[in-house]
Structure 1
Amino acid sequence: MNDVIINGIVNDLGIKKDSVIATLKLLGEGATIPFIARYRKEVTGALDEEQIRSINEVYEYQENLLKRKEDVIRLIDEKGLLTDEIRDNILKCEKLVEVEDIYRPYKEKKKTKATEAIKNGLEPLAKIIMSFKDIDVKKIAESYLNDNVKSVDEAITGASYIIAEWISDNASYRKWIRNNMMNHGIIKTKLKKNSTDENGIYEMYYDYEERVKFIKPHRVLAINRGEKEGVLSVNVVVDDDYIISYLENKIIKNDKVMASDIVKTAIRDSYKRLIIPSIEREVRSELKEVSEEAAIEVFGENLENLILTPPMKDVTVLGFDPAFRTGCKLAVVSPTSSVLNISVIYPHEPHNKWEESKKTLKDLFKKYNIDIVAIGNGTASRESEKLVAETISEYRDKEIKYIIVSEAGASVYSASDLAIKEFPDLTVEKRSAISIARRLQDPLSELVKIDSKSIGVGQYQHDVNEKKLDESLDFVVSKCVNNVGVNVNTASRSILKYISGLTKSNIDKIIEYREENGKVLSRDELMKKKVLTPKAYEQSIGFMRIIDGTNPMDVTSIHPESYGTASKLLDMYGFGINDLGSKKLNDVLGAINIKEVSEKLGTDIYTLEDIIKCFSKPNRDFRDDFDKPLLKSDILKIEDLKVGMELSGTVRNVVDFGAFIDIGLHDDGLVHISKMTDKYIKHPSEVVSVGDIVTCYVDDISLKKNRVSLSLINPNSIKN
């Protein structure tokens, strides 16, 4: 491990040096991020997954930066041009772009105006001009004429090209100009001539400008998309005269000699032709990178909150995949996610079998004792909601609720090899109805089957770096799956692939063992029967649960390596393994001195605290602490709304400029960031998360556009 890099991480992330070193050591030994975060708190100082990931990412970046520094130093040295000053400047660089700036003059050049001038023997003339001596440059230029340089003007022009490239290659000038553009530059956008933007998507950018320093990530990505689609022209404007004046002050040593006018011309040429186009590309590239990171972060947060939506346990769900011509597909799914029935009804155009469809629904309600109808939010959703609400209102045997469920990704999953393998005899649409029902029953187990990018809780996810997005979303899903844990006897291949430390081979062996033996009865069985290797067992077993097995501790997140400590704790206070979750045990353990008891048991406080939490609620699913989805029994229409009306809604998506809330209409309402709180916030995620149930107020209604603007601020609390 490189001490310089480690000190850099400590400064960048504000994490203690010992924790950074310990974390890097564990990662180097093959430990996974979820394992380190959960079971090595005493080593890292209880760093969470995000901190561990950041340490890993920063270390990798700094390693790459150091390697590039060494390569550049070697390449310059091979040319015989390395000085102590150049070496020191390279080693001081904090970013790759700064290293490349220093290396720029020493790179092998492609054919440029300057390289051609050098080839024609004009480099000595350029050096003479840059000496700023009081001499007749034109007279001296005569001695540089040859077959390729026919006149004095050509000689001076060629020398100027060389000077322009020298200026452009100067690392300190580039850094200053880049900083100037980042801090004082203005992004300007215009509607391109003869371009088409039929729906006015980019209307606000037809004649728009904003400081580079303050532009929000979502606006950068919107502008980039508009430019890519040929709707917008985009450029970054700076005070050219100010920057040229800066360069002249830095470069011109004597303003009274003939050379000064030549160099001024070279400065302007260098600035306009070489520096500004290059720096503008770099600045826009940096803006894009920062904006992509912000978009990926928002997507990750939204995805995490969505897949951690509390499961609707012990309910029979009717999944309803709406459609017009091809009919609505229905799937009855039991509380254990078994498919009990598949049906198709044709209530809408062109069939219009409304009453017949209602009868089919009522028969299914009765036969399978349906609790909830989950309606997909795609085509024909509004019409299908009307059918379901009407049928429920007429059904007298029990109270049934319904909910609109996002279909995003359902069709992608339904056509996948995984879905075909799971339901080989069903059509894509029927599989989709099953997916809609199951994602209500257990969002985590169902959504892991779907490509995260298809789930539809992002912002400009199609405009960001796909590799980075995939890595980030995989990290989020892995974190969620491991935090919740899985039932090793029922977990699908799709969810097991996210469990810490499991390879495809490990997963194959687990599934093969289940099929051959019927059920895994204990965690240690997986080790004794050599289903898992020692390393895979260590890294994964704490995240896999055994329900109704031979050891009650196997249902908890206590790692088997701590079973001895856990048993000693029970013995210490006269309890047994069957007392887990009892009020008496909870009362006793809730009153102990953690530090004293941990010392007696020879363990650390983090492990002891986790053991006590598991003892208090052995079957705890922390998702149950979150808001459960809102269920409905009747339809809300936009015509029913009035400004100021109070409603309950579910946050469906959080973006940089606000949040979209499902209040029961076909389209979600938007709460702009300015309407979230009467205090200043940087981002909507400070106030709401995907899945939150919120009280909101109608702020504005547009019947023409079928849009509703909402506010989280009670209008009655606003002081005049």
Structure 2
Amino acid sequence: MERISLQIAQELSVQQKQIAAVIKLLDEGATIPFIARYRKELTGGLDDTQLRQAHQRLNYLTELEERRGVILRSVEEQGKLSNDLAAKINAAETKTELEDLYLPYKPKRRTKGQIAIEAGLEPLADKLWQNPDLTPDETATEFLNAEHKINDAKDALDGARAILMERFSEQAELLKQLRNHLWTHAHLRAQVVKGKETEGSKFRDYFDFTEAFNHIPSHRALALFRGRNEGILQLSLDPAPTLETQKDAEVEQMIADFVGFSDQRRPADAWRGQVVQWTWKVKLSLHLETELMARVREQAETAAIQVFANNLADLLMAAPAGAKRTMGLDPGVRTGVKVAVVDETGKVLDTNTVFPFQPQNQKDKAIRTLAGLCKQHKVELISIGNGTHSRETDSLVAEMLKGNADVKATKVMVNEAGASVYSASELAAQEFPEMDVALRGAVSIARRLQDPLAELVKIEPKSIGVGQYQHDVSQAQLAQSLDAVVEDCVNAVGVDVNRASAALLQRVAGLSKTLAKNIVEFRDMHGAFSSRKILMDVPRMG
């Protein structure tokens, strides 16, 4: 753990003792917001961002160390752990480097190369590679073996080639060189699947598309992968985008240089050149293409999730309208416009449903109903969800306000994302057990204008609709990132303990779900808290 804490400290440009303190607190179960606010004296004042970066690196490096230990034990048990190999494994800084080093020793099903070795063809492979003046066909006849089905020179040469291809393709340094070269110079190419032009018209921009792997923006990468997943696009590696022909020549030359091959027209050079070509085409091209695609996807998802997190933070931290009587309107066509009026604290005063649009067309009645509710409850704000028929609903409200000068309300369009999810949730059912599901959404729309953070915290973050490709990224990573945003926002703003819901309270650093529920139940039973001291009377708080 000392090695990990030192590395993280160097990466974040802080002291090792600060990171050691963070690791200890995380191991004890402390959350990031709790550490940031209540343990500054131990961490040297590290903020939320630094703590989350440290936590992410801690998870990665811990997994790296665990994998390093597994690999060292595995190679040692095989009796192949030299001092040089052990040093390389211990020096590996990424999971990719570690797996490259392990590749030759990784237990695998019997390959063509292994079968050829069992057939006694490894000496042939070594002879032809080390002595290019030998004639392959003549030399191969010395290694015929009917028992292993090596019946002619071709069988023997095929086996020898398989041995060398596997040997070369498992060289960690070669893999690193090729990987770096392709990431910098190769392109990801997209082409439409034949016959899918009409069905996949929304992807027409990518029907014949190419872009450098290391320059593809996240939104474009996710669009390409979505097109592939829907069976519209074929994605492939273009190792030399500037060349029309011989696209593999450059990478094949890199392999040749690494293994020490140059074609000098000697008897075995044609066969040896074929080994180099096949090492790329058969063993490495698909492997590295898959790896590069995965890297592009991982980077695109990371960037997209950060955008989603920023969007969510903007929604949660939007300025609250404050304690004003508010009417919430959840627009609809066939099912009508759902209406809810809440008081200054968010308590529901009234609900209704009006049908101003097709097929009912009860526009005048709808205006009278809305005006009556506004006057009866002295509504100050009208919150209109921005979903289906929101513009028509906005026009309806404008007409109502114009015809009722005594209604002094201000209309505001709000983001209604997640309102329908909340209305059908267990939390909404507990809060409004007798209320129709459709009307609960209108309550949420009214409250989210009063206090966006307090209301949106009740909804699963990814249901709030924070980005175009949010369903194309890792849902586990997205949920983890968005939950962290909610935590940070709640703890940055704070809560009013006399008004906050249990859903909001449980996001406060140091409060569990059970404690949040106990606070609300205590408040409902005994009334508002008049001092912090009274909080200590809440069960399990002391």
- What range describes the TM-score normalised by the shorter chain of this pair? over 0.9
Mapped to 1, the partners of 2:536 and 2:366 lie a distance apart of 53
Q: Does 1:300 align with 2:309?
A: yes
Structure 1 letter corresponding to 2:125: A
Structure 1 contact 252–260 (Cα < 8 Å) conserved: no
Structure 1 letter corresponding to 2:313: E
Query: Any idea what SS the aligned residue of 1:461 has?
Result: coil
Matches within 5 A, 1:379-528: 379-527=388-536
Mapped to 1, the partners of 2:370 and 2:296 lie a distance apart of 53
Mapped to 2, the partners of 1:92 and 1:261 lie a distance apart of 38
Mapped to 2, the partners of 1:254 and 1:317 lie a distance apart of 80
Structure 2 letter corresponding to 1:250: F
Structure 2 letter corresponding to 1:131: Q
Q: Does 1:314 align with 2:315?
A: no
Structure 1 contact 123–159 (Cα < 8 Å) conserved: yes
Alpha-carbon distance, 1:528 to partner: 5.4
Mapped to 2, the partners of 1:166 and 1:15 lie a distance apart of 43
1:291 pairs, out of 297, 300, 303, with 300
For structure 2, the residue ranges without an aligned partner over 5 or more in a row are 241-247
Q: Does 1:367 align with 2:376?
A: yes
> 1:574-625: CA deviations, max 9, x gaps?
xxxxxxxxxxxxxxxxxxxxxxxxxxxxxxxxxxxxxxxxxxxxxxxxxxxx
Moved more, 192-201 or 460-469: 192-201
Alpha-carbon distance, 1:102 to partner: 0.7
Alpha-carbon distance, 1:56 to partner: 1.7
Structure 1 residues 517 and 365, CA, compared in 2 at 3 Å: closer, same or farther?
A: closer
More helix by share: 2
Alpha-carbon distance, 1:73 to partner: 1.5
Structure 1 residues 374 and 198, CA, compared in 2 at 3 Å: closer, same or farther?
A: farther
Mapped to 2, the partners of 1:123 and 1:231 lie a distance apart of 45
Mapped to 1, the partners of 2:526 and 2:434 lie a distance apart of 27
Query: Any idea what SS the aligned residue of 1:213 has?
Result: helix
Structure 2 letter corresponding to 1:104: L
Structure 1 residues 259 and 387, CA, compared in 2 at 3 Å: closer, same or farther?
A: same
Q: When the two structures are aligned, how many residues end up with a matched partner?
A: 532
| Aligned counterpart, 1:157 | 158
For structure 1, the residue ranges without an aligned partner over 5 or more in a row are 534-720
Alpha-carbon distance, 1:162 to partner: 1.2
Give me the TM-score of the superposition, normalised by structure 2: 0.94
Moved more, 250-259 or 294-303: 250-259
Moved more, 6-15 or 47-56: 6-15
Q: Does 1:167 align with 2:168?
A: yes
> 1:93-147: CA deviations, max 9, x gaps?
1110110011011112224322332333322322222323643443332232122
Mapped to 2, the partners of 1:203 and 1:401 lie a distance apart of 44
Mapped to 2, the partners of 1:353 and 1:275 lie a distance apart of 69
Mapped to 1, the partners of 2:289 and 2:300 lie a distance apart of 16
Alpha-carbon distance, 1:41 to partner: 3.0
Query: Any idea what SS the aligned residue of 1:312 has?
Result: coil
Structure 2 letter corresponding to 1:48: D
Alpha-carbon distance, 1:312 to partner: 1.1
Mapped to 1, the partners of 2:132 and 2:276 lie a distance apart of 18
Query: Any idea what SS the aligned residue of 2:344 has?
Result: coil
| Aligned counterpart, 1:543 | none
Query: Any idea what SS the aligned residue of 1:235 has?
Result: strand
> 1:353-390: CA deviations, max 9, x gaps?
11111111111121111111111122222221111111
Structure 1 residues 377 and 228, CA, compared in 2 at 3 Å: closer, same or farther?
A: same
> 1:35-54: CA deviations, max 9, x gaps?
22123334333221111111
Mapped to 1, the partners of 2:467 and 2:109 lie a distance apart of 42
Structure 1 contact 183–213 (Cα < 8 Å) conserved: yes
Give me the TM-score of the superposition, normalised by structure 1: 0.71
Q: Does 1:39 align with 2:28?
A: no
Structure 1 letter corresponding to 2:78: K
Alpha-carbon distance, 1:249 to partner: 1.9
Query: Any idea what SS the aligned residue of 1:166 has?
Result: helix
Alpha-carbon distance, 1:530 to partner: 4.9
Matches within 5 A, 1:55-454: 55-132=54-131, 134-147=133-146, 148-196=149-197, 200-239=201-240, 240-252=248-260, 255-256=263-264, 257-454=266-463
Alpha-carbon distance, 1:405 to partner: 1.6
Structure 1 letter corresponding to 2:419: A
Structure 1 letter corresponding to 2:260: I
Structure 2 contact 143–156 (Cα < 8 Å) conserved: yes
Structure 2 contact 326–446 (Cα < 8 Å) conserved: yes
Structure 1 letter corresponding to 2:14: I
Matches within 5 A, 1:530-541: 530-532=539-541
Structure 1 contact 6–20 (Cα < 8 Å) conserved: yes
Mapped to 2, the partners of 1:199 and 1:342 lie a distance apart of 44
Alpha-carbon distance, 1:150 to partner: 1.1
Give the % identical residues: 39
Structure 1 contact 205–223 (Cα < 8 Å) conserved: yes
Mapped to 1, the partners of 2:535 and 2:262 lie a distance apart of 82
Matches within 5 A, 1:632-711: none
Structure 1 contact 307–447 (Cα < 8 Å) conserved: yes
Mapped to 2, the partners of 1:447 and 1:42 lie a distance apart of 32
Query: Any idea what SS the aligned residue of 2:293 has?
Result: helix
Moved more, 284-293 or 321-330: 321-330
Alpha-carbon distance, 1:197 to partner: 5.2
Moved more, 302-311 or 419-428: 419-428
Mapped to 2, the partners of 1:432 and 1:447 lie a distance apart of 12
RMSD: 1.9
Alpha-carbon distance, 1:336 to partner: 0.8
Moved more, 180-189 or 506-515: 506-515
Structure 2 letter corresponding to 1:121: G
Query: Any idea what SS the aligned residue of 1:100 has?
Result: helix
Structure 1 contact 510–531 (Cα < 8 Å) conserved: no
| Aligned counterpart, 1:694 | none
Mapped to 1, the partners of 2:514 and 2:406 lie a distance apart of 50
> 1:533-564: CA deviations, max 9, x gaps?
5xxxxxxxxxxxxxxxxxxxxxxxxxxxxxxx
Alpha-carbon distance, 1:508 to partner: 3.6
Structure 2 letter corresponding to 1:353: Q
Structure 2 contact 256–262 (Cα < 8 Å) conserved: no
Structure 1 contact 316–334 (Cα < 8 Å) conserved: yes
Structure 1 contact 132–253 (Cα < 8 Å) conserved: no
Structure 1 letter corresponding to 2:213: V
Mapped to 1, the partners of 2:352 and 2:47 lie a distance apart of 46
Structure 2 letter corresponding to 1:245: Q
> 1:50-94: CA deviations, max 9, x gaps?
111111221221122122112211111111111111111111211
Structure 1 contact 331–342 (Cα < 8 Å) conserved: yes
Mapped to 1, the partners of 2:218 and 2:83 lie a distance apart of 41
Structure 1 contact 377–407 (Cα < 8 Å) conserved: yes
Structure 2 contact 136–271 (Cα < 8 Å) conserved: no
Structure 1 letter corresponding to 2:357: H
Structure 1 residues 84 and 145, CA, compared in 2 at 3 Å: closer, same or farther?
A: same
Query: Any idea what SS the aligned residue of 1:174 has?
Result: helix
